[in-house]
Structure 1
Amino acid sequence: MAIDPVCGMYVSEDTDLYLDKDGTRYYFCSTGCLEKFREPEREEKSLKIRLIVAWSFSIPILILNYALVSPYRNYILLLLALPVQFYSGLGFYHGAYGAIKNRSGNMDLLITLGTLTAFIFSLFITFDGNVFPVKYTYYDASVFIITLILTGGYIESLTKRAANSSAHRLLELIPESVHMYSNGNVHDVAYENIKTGDAILIRPGENIAVDGTIIKGTTEVDESMITGEQMPVLKHENDNVYSGTKNINGSIIVKVNAVGPNSTVNKLYSLIQMAAMGRAKIQRIADVFSSYFVPVVISAALGSSIFWFIYLNHEGDPISLIISVLVFVSVIVIACPCAIGLAAPITLLISSNESLENGIIIKNSSSMDRLSHINMVIFDKTGTLTNNSPNVSYMRYYGDKMLVNSMLISIEQASNHPAARAIVNYIKELPHDTYTINDIKEIPGFGIKGAFNGREISVTRDGNFTVLNYNNEKLAEIKIEYKLRDSAKIAVKKLIKNGIDVAIVTGDSKENTVNIAHDLDINKYYYNIKPDQKAEIVKKMQRDGKYVMFVGDGINDTIAMEAADVGVSMSSGSDITKENGDIILLKDDLKNVYNMIIIGRKTIKKVRQNIGWAIGYNSALIPVAAGILVPLFGLSIYFVLPILAALAMGMSSTTVVLNSLRIKKSIRRSISL
């Protein structure tokens, strides 16, 4: 059985509703889900229009149903109900049809069953009031069920975004044109016209558009998109470079090995999309409830209807068939809990707002269910557990401090190297002057040099160390490193204390990874890991029964974040990473990693409570609709059922909202502990 990537329902692979995208076939339970997947923006716009139509007609129906006294009242209500029933509610019918085809129950089937039964029954009353011994209609119940469920769906959609938006942003790293190199001549051509075997020139500061091999030149390349590490990598002739990375300081000529769909950027794009689609496997709570509740309701309706038909027929009642139909309709309509559509969205909205006040942005509210189960947290290292930019950890002077500071800031401000930026930011806070440095030249793999007062000045880089030389004399030695965030130790300690496993997965070296893991008392760590390998580690942990949260900041983390049950981005991370994540940590406070897990657990607990309240009022009236009070009050009980149904609808909706508001206090109390 396949899984619908939109609603999470199980779908037979024999269905005709499928779509091939990026080499993968996706199956759908209904045309509605297929269209949502194919054109999410169009479907969201359609939902908004259907919701406006629903409220525009539902409010007049509610008012006229109780305020209008006229022989034409039912005809007026019918005309007002038609747009809501068959335009606003059309999506539910598609979903119900898909559920029936797949022999399963979902929320759409429950809504369709209740609203169509109410509408058709009301239609009979409108055109032939003598068919049934009652004169009321259920137009108001039918349209308000549809309207409230659509409202809940729209509230949910406000916190969502297209699953592949970050993947499209990734493609923006590719330049529209490149510099074609041929026989010593250079001319610009469109990216689409590049093919394998071509040679292109890549100048300092430009993004690399293709996967290829350097055939001339030396440079340093920012490969943070792949490794997550900010320090540039020195590249010589015959070394490979990858699309989406950035050339820092040298001109190189590259032979194209892969372009278009076969390039690194496009492969990442496809992997992100596939990972995003795989995350919709958890069904919505309301659908899970409906899969059990629908058979119960139908059984109760049929059972009570058949009972009254047999009993009244045995008693010789001439309207036994009519009464049995009336009982069936009453049970179905009464049992349909309109507030269930608000049970989750209202809670999620309030929870998201409370999270924001605590420095947590919940971008994808549907992640709350997965968040409540998290028992494994994986951290990226650089930019996540550590600051995202290197810092000067210490500086040793071998000459006059004022002179050294002035020389360093004067020459390093001409460099794009991360170590140079760290030194400049450090010295800005110290006493210094600004000197004129002549003949500045940045040398990939070496550093930067120039002339000051007619003598050579140079800054050489070797790993984490930078050395200032002047006239062949060492004047200073500086150590550059990524410092742990202030909140890292507290966050990891709290997670482990509460039984949540922690691991580090990074593209950095073994030495740096081991040092950080030791400082944080983390026993499980992985180093020199590529983006797709990060995702595989996440998937393996999931196969071992873990619910995984991945916390990262770089483009190289996006696939793992999508593969994880919950993806969390640092606010200082790349725009693509922030778009991709379910949650963003404002102020980069890692202590909120545990807090958001608590918020998820509290939220889902409240949603389940709301579903209980949503069905409680209506379910309590099912025995009444089935006729349990008929022996005491006779058929007159059916004259007050519309009032009881309206009361149940109002009380359940009000209770859901009030109960949802209580989550604010619960979250604040739990986080403060």
Structure 2
Amino acid sequence: MTCASCVNRVEKKLGKLDGVEASVNLPLESAHVTVPAGITDEQLVDTVNAAGYKAKIRPSEHAEQVSGSAAPGDHMAHGAAPGDHMAHGGAASQLRPRLVLAAILTVPVFLISMVPAFQFAHWGWVAGALALPVVSWAAWPFHRAAAINARHLASTMDTLVSIGVAAAYLFSAWQLFSNPRMTEHPGMEGMEPGGLYFEVAAVVTTFLLLGRYLEANAKQKAGDALKALLNLGAKDATVLRSGGETKIPADQLQVGDVIVVRPGEKIAADGLVIEGSSAVDASLITGESVPVEVGPDSKVTGATINASGRLLVRATRVGAETTLAQMARLVSEAQTGKAPIARLADRISAVFVPVVLVIAVLTFGAWLLLAGPAVSEAELRAAFTAAVAVLVIACPCALGLATPVGLLTGTGRGAQLGILIKGPQVLEDTRTVDTILLDKTGTVTTGRLAVDNTMAFEGFSPSEVLRLAGAVEAASEHPIAHAIAASALAQITESAARTAVAGSPLLRLESQDGRDDDGARLPAVGQFRSAPGGGVAGTVDGRLVVAGRTGWLQESGVRISREQRDALQAAEASGATAIWVAVEGAPAGIVSLRDTIKPGSAAAIARLRHLGLRPILLTGDNAAVAAQVADAVGIPSDDVYAGILPAGKVDAVRKLQAGGAIVAMAGDGVNDAAALAQADLGIAMGSGTDVAIEAADLTVMGNDLAQVAQAIELSRRTLATIKTNLFWAFFYNAVGIPVAALGLLNPMIAGAAMAASSVLVVANSLRLRSFGR
């Protein structure tokens, strides 16, 4: 394919098959085709062939059926354009020989024709001879494509170029043959060289080849992000089999295989760490530069890099099921789609070339008509020049490239930043949203509790209460227990309190990442017991320590005074999760825990406001907890929805929509999926579930709220770039064609402008590659 007219024709041909929907992408040279039962791959390929092109079914994992599609199957057809693969996506190496020859021969043709000092006797014949290889071999792809299209009663940009170049050369040759002495004596009266247009034909061909060469290079850069994403995965994997290590190609991995990952190696598949601890660099996937600490039972993603320790990873997803493959599939599908704004370009391109041909004929006729009955040679030259300029200046290429190249670059850059844009429609949605619902847990906060305060009763100190609570909780697997034990461990590490227990039996506590914290130890616990949902108990330093909820303490024979009970209620009213700690049957203190707010949440919410969005906090927690989080991140109390059940999240979205708001929703859990689907723009945090990601329009692979703001900003920037491209593509033709028809534009300048229009559209899109840097 060479222009928007080609795209339109292929789509129409495929669309004539019963039930088939096709979206054709010019720079990717592909068609995404949704087919009903009964339509075969052969029918699709034959239909494209019948339109004058060539295609084959792309054999890749990206051709799998799109989840949620009502059609029995989606296919990716990869096309080959007529004309030695001279399509816009053609390799620059295929264009280079033709461009080099054209440039070498065009320079002397131009100098001989335009500079009197370089002219000599019969120079016209030399110019014609030098221009012949340019307009034939160098321009052959244009002529061949035009001929193939004509055979199918169609016309494209190649038709305009071929006619313009051929007309200029053949008219000049006719002039020269009809008057062989035309350039015998340059400057002789009546022997003006103005009837020769060899330099026009050669220069136009060279400019167009140069434009396509630059365009091919630029578009290759636009697609580099997706290619880089596809190449991120590990090529080999070392697995444990038959008691030893075996190196195999990564594509032969099976679910359940145990992969050995040494420092510096890429993890070959999504999996679960079963042994070892390390820091994993996930920046290639999530866009976040800080390495993630992992240990036993930690989930890891394929294509991330093991930075330090040796890991054993049990593969849970391989091949097309890995996170990397899903990312590539989403990006590829997004790039094959069409934004609503592009439909106008499609409608115009369908009639563009025939209309230009008519305008060129009318221009030629109008100039002759205005000249009167006796048309002079100068008037004939003027009419011919204007008609050729109209043919050459008209360029539907820029129209065809405006949307897909912008989308290609924007979605590719998003993938590099860990942002997945599902399709072109999402770009329009990000422009219109004015309200964003933020699920608290996992989006604004980490979803992990941390000790916020330790209160001690008479006879105890806060450090002692935390140390004893941490010791007994260290034997439990509950998340609250982990948080208390970790805080107690940090306290012992940072203070001289270890000396107070130097003679006690010591327990080395492993942190959640599986690594020992050297020098950090908690007192050993004996006679440990626990009650699910209640608490834990055990002996520490020879004393019975009980930690947990009120009911658990009462079951353990601990009496709680009214003042102590009021202290617990005050802690809970402030939004904290409060845990009793009792020693030898008497309350010793209260440990308060809170869900920790992500470090960048406040700045991200301020950035969302700057983008014109109204952030609203949504949570199932009580009003006190919600108010505390909202105050910390800068959300007014009026914009807090607390105590919301999963079903209530959907109702909250609907209520805002009913009030006229255009709603975006950001969440990461299964209970967010319905609300993400209901929202005008669903944004899934990549640390969440597959269900949430599938229901969303935008996915950020990291868990930083700042990426949500970045995703919206990138989407809006991409849409703005596409609109700018379309504006200049329309403006160029709207101004260029009338100027050419009035005879105010030299065909050579028209050729340069035509080539520049496509290059400028691609170059403008490439600016998106620097987004976020």
Interval of TM-score (by shorter of Structure 1 and Structure 2) = 0.5 to 0.7
1:645 maps to which residue? 747
1:331 maps to which residue? 387
- 1:222-621 to structure 2, matched below 5 A, reads 244=302, 261=319, 264=322, 268=326, 271-272=329-330, 275-276=333-334, 278-279=336-337, 289-302=348-361, 330-337=386-393, 371=427, 374=430, 385-386=443-444, 392=450, 394-396=452-454, 432=495, 440=508, 442=510, 455-456=523-524, 471=541, 473=545, 478-483=593-598, 485-490=601-606, 528-529=669-670, 573=702, 588=706, 590-591=708-709, 595-596=713-714, 599-600=717-718, 602-621=720-739
Residues 1:166 and 2:223 are matched in the alignment:
no
Residues 1:141 and 2:204 are matched in the alignment:
yes
User: What is the DSSP-based 3-state SS (H/G/I as helix, E as strand, rest coil) of the residue aligned with 2:241?
Assistant: strand
Number of paired residues?
583
1:22 maps to which residue? 60
Structure 1: how far apart are the matches of 2:373 and 2:215? 47
User: What is the DSSP-based 3-state SS (H/G/I as helix, E as strand, rest coil) of the residue aligned with 1:486?
Assistant: helix
Structure 2: how far apart are the matches of 1:60 and 1:369? 51
Per-residue CA deviation, residues 559-614 of structure 1 (Å, 9 max, x unaligned), is 969995xx6757xx49xxxxxxxxxx9x9365555555554555444334423442
- 1:25-64 to structure 2, matched below 5 A, reads 25-27=75-77, 30-31=80-81, 43=91, 46=94
Structure 1: how far apart are the matches of 2:337 and 2:229? 15
Residues 1:176 and 2:278 are matched in the alignment:
no
- C-alpha displacement of 1:487: 4.2
User: What is the DSSP-based 3-state SS (H/G/I as helix, E as strand, rest coil) of the residue aligned with 1:176?
Assistant: strand
Of the three residues 24, 35, 39, the one matched with 1:4 is 24
User: What is the DSSP-based 3-state SS (H/G/I as helix, E as strand, rest coil) of the residue aligned with 1:189?
Assistant: strand
Paired residues of 2:440 and 2:618 also in contact (CA < 8 A) = no
TM (norm. structure 1) is 0.56
Structure 2: how far apart are the matches of 1:425 and 1:128? 102
Of the three residues 101, 104, 120, the one matched with 1:70 is 120
- C-alpha displacement of 1:161: 1.9
- C-alpha displacement of 1:299: 1.8
Per-residue CA deviation, residues 496-550 of structure 1 (Å, 9 max, x unaligned), is 869x99999xxxxx979989998998686776459xx98x999x88xx9x7x685
TM (norm. structure 2) is 0.51
Paired residues of 2:99 and 2:210 also in contact (CA < 8 A) = yes
- C-alpha displacement of 1:488: 4.5
Paired residues of 1:376 and 1:502 also in contact (CA < 8 A) = no
Per-residue CA deviation, residues 87-119 of structure 1 (Å, 9 max, x unaligned), is 776665676567667766554554444444445
- C-alpha displacement of 1:22: 2.4
Structure 2: how far apart are the matches of 1:116 and 1:421? 83
Structure 2: how far apart are the matches of 1:537 and 1:91? 52
**Higher Rg of the two aligned structures:** 2
- C-alpha displacement of 1:486: 1.6
Structure 1: how far apart are the matches of 2:196 and 2:155? 32
Between the aligned residues of both structures, percent identity stands at 12
Per-residue CA deviation, residues 160-204 of structure 1 (Å, 9 max, x unaligned), is 3253542442x43x86121125xxxx2223445999999755689
- C-alpha displacement of 1:147: 2.5
User: What is the DSSP-based 3-state SS (H/G/I as helix, E as strand, rest coil) of the residue aligned with 1:144?
Assistant: helix
Paired residues of 1:217 and 1:251 also in contact (CA < 8 A) = yes
2:768 maps to which residue? none
Paired residues of 2:449 and 2:596 also in contact (CA < 8 A) = yes
Amino acid at match of 2:204: A
Most deviating of 147-156 and 85-94: 85-94
- C-alpha displacement of 1:334: 3.0
2:9 maps to which residue? none
Structure 2: how far apart are the matches of 1:404 and 1:332? 91
Amino acid at match of 1:27: A
Residues 1:188 and 2:304 are matched in the alignment:
no
- C-alpha displacement of 1:294: 0.9
Amino acid at match of 2:120: S
User: What is the DSSP-based 3-state SS (H/G/I as helix, E as strand, rest coil) of the residue aligned with 2:226?
Assistant: coil
The alignment yields a C-alpha RMSD, in angstroms, of 7.6
Structure 1: how far apart are the matches of 2:309 and 2:455? 28
User: What is the DSSP-based 3-state SS (H/G/I as helix, E as strand, rest coil) of the residue aligned with 1:15?
Assistant: helix
2:561 maps to which residue? none
Structure 1 unaligned spans of 5+: 355-359, 505-509, 575-584, 626-640, 664-673
